Amino acid sequence: MDLQQMYKKKLMSAEDAVKLIKNNTEVWIGIAVPVPLALVNALVDREPEVENITINHIVDIHPQNTWRKLNRDTNIRVDCGYPTASRDKVVSGEFTMSPILFRNMPKMYTDENYRPMHVAMLNVTPMDKHGYFCLGVGADATVAIAHNAARRRREGDNRYLVLAQVNNKMPRSRGLNYIHISEVDAIVEADQDLAVLPEAGPLSPEEETIGRYCAEFVKDGSTIQLGIGNIPNAVAKAFLDTGVKDLGVHSEMACDTMVELWEAGIITNQRKNFMPYRSIFTFAMGTKKLYEWIDDNPGVEFHPVDFVNNPHIIGRNDNLVSINACLQVDLTGQVCSESMGWKQYTHPGGQLDFVEGAFESKGGVSIIATPSVARPRANGGNPISKIAPHITPGGIVTTPRACTDYVITEYGVAKIKGQSVRKRVLNLISIAHPDFRDELKYEARRRDLI
């Protein structure tokens, strides 16, 4: 059977495709942008007819989805990491959240000893002349889940399926993020606009100062990992001001900041000692401009997350500078980046992956960057110190104190790694907001930390 005959044989409606899904199965729908809405919404519509199905995904940014009407008592449930738009559902317990290191997801979701995903729902480009579909704006854990599902089905386990939504609006990217038609069980043709993030707001003076402090660690030829939000944007602005050049990229997420630095000629990847001439990512999330930059760009590659976020792989990049944000840091250097007390705010993601990877890098540095205070609505908008005597009860440690390298606020840089507890405490107090330093010293003395 030739490729076109195979394609036509597998082509069907979304409604028919989801009828192939068995009860008592785990369904993977992807990370952020490439969630295949035609397939997912068709599955949700079948909720009264099915039993014990769980939809698993990371980063909910799709306003068009219907899965938010599900809850813990419906026949289809939702496990949602990085809940974003569904945060209220996770906090209330209507949705669950599974804490997993990003780099561990491929094994966790394919190994029978853990929680294998039986169904991979994909949002892909049209098939090429060789029979391959491209996952477009990512590879993450989806590649491993899809290949595993195809293999297990070939071995005779009919719980496993690969369902592909062919989307003409998906950019075709480079890397290890392709799947062959022979591995796909059903094809649904449905165009879907890629979800976009709103443009970030203006930088505050504090964020600009933090960006300048972070940029001091980045030299000509460094390789960078940046997240998303105003702090990375402030770092990028500082790069433009300092004139640093020939930066490389090895970062879990492609974002608009990378496009800006590439267009400015700051990112060239020409001096990378590992995988040169290419920016390496595992997924993408941003604006339409980012997705257009990714499309057919030989200087951008997406690879599976167990490769991109593997600390040993990260460490092969000399002079790697990792910059991530947090919610709270305690006086000994424990970093909380995923919860506010008992309330789950986000997912552990790849922060620890890159903290560990930067340590393995020759000349590498990892930075936790945060404004010195937050002004939560729950506190009436009044400031609270993000450097605290202890992590708020119920708070989750994302980066252990033994791994934390540098912490930066608008008041300076605190070296943590390799320092005694006393030195850590003093260093962190020195970069706390001045209004809280006396209180922090008092609490440190009361706990015999200094």
Q: Which residues are catalytic?
A: 252
Q: Which residues pair with 408 in a beta bridge?
A: 369, 413
Handedness of CA 152, 157, 159, 162 (dihedral sign): positive
Handedness of CA 165, 350, 110, 87 (dihedral sign): negative
Distance CA 380, CA 91 (A): 20
Distance CA 248, CA 275 (A): 10
Q: At what angle do helices 256-263 and 230-242 cross, to 10 degrees?
A: 10
Please report which residue ranges of 61-123 form alpha helices under DSSP H.
87-92, 105-108
Distance CA 322, CA 337 (A): 15
Q: CA–CA distance from 195 to each of 31, 59, 65, 279 (Å)?
A: 11, 11, 11, 22
Count of C-beta atoms within a 10 Å radius of residue 16? 12
Count of C-beta atoms within a 10 Å radius of residue 361? 24
Beta strands in 11-58 (DSSP E): 25-31, 53-58
CA angle 211, 214, 215 (to 5 degrees): 85
Count of C-beta atoms within a 10 Å radius of residue 154? 11
Q: Which H or E run includes 4?
A: helix 3-10
DSSP string covering 303-345: -BHHHHT-HHHHTTSTTEEEEEE-SEEETT--EE-SEETTEE-
Distance CA 330, CA 338 (A): 14
Q: Mark residue 93 as left, alpha or beta (left: phi above 0; alpha: psi -120 to 50; beta: remaining).
A: left
Residue indicated by tokens 């709103």: 198
Distance CA 21, CA 14 (A): 12
